Amino acid sequence: MVRLGHAMGSNKKAFFGMAGIGDLIATASVNKSRNFSVGERFGRGEKLDQILASMKEPAEGLRTVIIGKELANHFGLELPITEAIFKMIYEDWNIQEALISLMNYPYTDDVDFI
């Protein structure tokens, strides 16, 4: 996300505060979070339509990953985690395919933004 924000003109430091990494940690690790719940359910093998049918309000990450992928394409960025999440949610990749893809991703300096 730092790489994407930087491509869009933001200050890289903005992502390391409470509204950046703090929000990411909260939404990804608190079991009351809709994003956490969706991820956990995907991990158990449920499909998107099953998950959405049982939710009063969809998780914001479901839309955010679409926007992230579109912006990455627009700016010519490689965001392998965003790509893998998108494919799991919207292209029926299973978790094993996503993990293999990420583990085989060519090594690059992925913290070059610091």
- 10-residue block means of pLDDT along the chain (114 residues)? 89 83 84 90 90 91 95 94 93 89 80 62
pLDDT at position 86 is 95
90: tokens are 């919207």
pLDDT at position 111 is 64
pLDDT at position 43 is 87
Total-model pTM: 0.84
Arch. (CATH architecture) of 2-103: Orthogonal Bundle (1.10)
pLDDT at position 109 is 64
Contacts of 49-58 with C-beta under 8 Å, sequence gap 24+, read: 58/34
Which amino acid type is present at position 81?
I
pLDDT at position 114 is 61
